[in-house]
A and B are shown apart, each in its own frame.
Chain A
Amino acid sequence: MKRTLMCFATMVFLATAFGQERSDFQIVKGFQTKYKEILKLAQEVQTVQQCAEVSVMIDELVKEFSGDKDLLNKALYGEKFDDRVDLARVQLKRNQEKLGLIESQVTRIAELETKVRELSGQVEKLTSENAALAGDVERLGNNVRSASDGATADAAMNARMIDSLKGAIAKLQNNLRERDKLIFALVDSLFMQYDKNLASMNEVEKSGVLAKVERNNVFTNVKKTIGDNLQFLNATDLTGGDLAAMIREQQKFSAQWKAFGPKLANIYSTGKNKKNELALIDTLLSTWEEKVNATFWKQLNADLQKNGVQMAPVFSGERFAQELSGYMEFQSKVEDKAARSAKFDSFTNSVWNGEIGKTWIPLLSEKGMLTADQKKSLEARYDAWRSSVSGPSLWVYVLIALVLGGIAWAGYRRMQKPPAKT
């Protein structure tokens, strides 16, 4: 059954992969081959999932060949297209009844199976689109690099190239995210077809899940996704915002895989090769995480350097807090007030209110690398620096005024009070 399904999937792929003009003979032959396979499967079904799968196959057969109905009616002498389809449905229904399966259950699973197939198609489409986009990003990146090396002097053209590159990166990142989502939606729909716990499945059911996992290239797609994300990280210099999105994606993907991986390990309890593949995916995920972290620190250090923050490179949240705090403390103690003030203004605009303050620091907090105390301490250090250039803030004056006003008011009230009668 599993092998037959694989053959069927291959035939569907081959039929759709080549967009050339098809001969009528090939259409009829294609229909007959698929029909024969479906009929065979309809006779062999043993589980509700298999019934649902064959039902979906019949629907797909009708969808694929409806446009050739006239041709098939002429070519299938003795029978009509609709007769054949009806015969397959009757055969399936008869076996369903023999197995004591409820129609509504088959329909529900068939809907999920249709969804799995649709999602699988979307994943394939996105995969090829992403390959083309990755090529664009590489080409545009090379153009921008050679332009910045001085090969192209036209500033407007350079700006246009950078815009194109940014657009391609954004699109690719969005597509990668979309594909990650689709893969796990596919896996969800696939496992939702099985009500019971995987551990309690019999061998036929387990091999059914395996066949579906393989037919929908789940392993290949997961590996491809991680690979593409790694390649994307290598090929592009991400800004804080983009990297934040990438980190979130990596964390989400990793969490989803952690939920899905053990299920697969359960059904692959006997296959050594597949177990190795599961281990490989775990390794790839670790590599992705390491790469994301390395890129994170590299970009953060680069951003600090770019904005004139002279401090040693940091590779942990704690060191970041220490170094940045030290930098602010040092700057707040510069004797020349004009220089101190100028540095403070530049720091405020480009760092504190810029990418570091708006994106990197919240991201460090989100990743649990910067504690609330460390963040507060940085804010206090910044406030101290500000005070050193502009004196106490307006709020301090307001507060002092309020306190003094309060004291004066209390004194006045006391003076107004009549002396107590004795």
Chain B
Amino acid sequence: MKHVATIFPLLFLAACSSLTLKPVDFSWPIEAELKPDRKGVVQEERYTMSVNVTSVIWEELKDSTASRHTIHMIRDVKGYYYITAAKFKNVYVFKHGDGELVQANKILVSESGLTSPAFNQRAPNVQLINGKEKPILLSNTGVEQQPEGAKK
């Protein structure tokens, strides 16, 4: 009876609070280069994930034909998704929502638009390279390391 009295409050507490598993590494080792289909949906085969990117392409390029563009996408350690494409001026950061990706940040990386962007996983950051330009380190909050001489 004495034991029951001790265990009962513990069971009660466990039932009330949710479990937290950590640490978690959500990072993708390499970016995905994805071509949207006619509906603007990109399919990432390794992580069996699909997402409609029409809105982000419209937002950035005012182009409703998403299939004309190649999307570069990567996920960082914390689970944020980074999306960009050639001619984009920004990198879009999304977080996982309820059946959706919700914009968490929009990082200005090129005034003239990226020419040949690519992401590299450099945990805890994500590296953005663009042709011969100096690479930029990004996090979900913004630019971590700006190339010399560039505007902050």
Interface residues of A (CB under 8 A from B): 20-26, 28, 71, 74-75, 77
Contact = CB atoms under 8 A, between A and B. Distances in A.
21 contacts: A20-B131, A20-B132, A21-B129, A21-B135, A22-B129, A23-B31, A23-B119, A23-B120, A24-B31, A24-B118, A24-B120, A24-B121, A25-B30, A25-B31, A25-B118, A25-B119, A28-B30, A71-B30, A74-B30, A75-B29, A77-B46
Nearest to B130: A21
A154 B131 CA distance: 47
Contacts of B32: 25
Interface residues of B, number: 14
A23 B29 CA distance: 12
A65 B132 CA distance: 21
A74 B46 CA distance: 12
A23 B119 CA distance: 7
Contacts of B33: 25
Nearest to B129: A21
Interface in B1-51: 29-33, 46
Nearest to B131: A20
A22 B120 CA distance: 9
A22 B121 CA distance: 12
Judged by DSSP, the binding face of B is strand
Contacts of B119: 23, 25
Nearest to A71: B29
Contact of B118 (A26, A71, A75): A26
Contacts of B31: 23-25
A333 B120 CA distance: 89
Nearest to B120: A24
Contacts of B29: 24, 71, 74-75
Contacts of A25: 30-33, 118-119
Contact of B129 (A23, A28, A74, A75): A23
Nearest to B32: A25
A5 to B, nearest CB: 27
Contacts of B46: 77
Given A24-B120, A74-B29, A77-B46, 15 more contacts: A20-B132, A21-B129, A21-B132, A22-B129, A23-B31, A23-B118, A23-B129, A24-B29, A24-B30, A24-B31, A24-B118, A25-B30, A25-B31, A25-B118, A74-B30
A25 B30 CA distance: 6
Contacts of A24: 29-31, 118, 120-121
